[in-house]
Amino acid sequence: MSSAVTQRRSGSSSCRRCAIRGSAHTITITVGAFGPLVVSFGHDLTGHYGTALIALAAIPLAAVLAVVLSRKPTASG
């Protein structure tokens, strides 16, 4: 719904930001569905939840690091 509203407000027929949001929502839902499975598998392997939760916490930390270290895009041409 928010993608449609953003597209209407911007007045563009092709909303790149909307496509990125749609992809992000798909990834979020998929990870949310498989997260408990990963944590339970980690519990079965190690006997406690801490290792799996630390491993899962490393994923967003790596994403933050990638964002901080990335360069601002420049126009070519």
Give residue-wise pLDDT tens across range 21-35: 788 888 889 888 998
Average pLDDT value for residue range 54-63 = 89
Which residue type sits at 37? L
Count of alpha carbons within 13 angstroms of residue 68, beta-carbon side: 6
For residue 2, is pLDDT > 80? no
- Residue pair 41/53 in contact (Cβ under 8 Å)? The answer is no
- Residue pair 43/52 in contact (Cβ under 8 Å)? The answer is yes
For residue 49, is pLDDT > 90? yes
Q: Could you identify the residue written with the tokens 């408990």?
A: 36
Does the predicted model carry a pTM greater than 0.85? no
High-pLDDT (> 70) share of the chain, %: 77
DSSP class of residue 11 equals T
Q: Could you identify the residue written with the tokens 């491993």?
A: 55
Q: How confident is the model at residue 60 (pLDDT cuts 50, 70, 90)?
A: confident
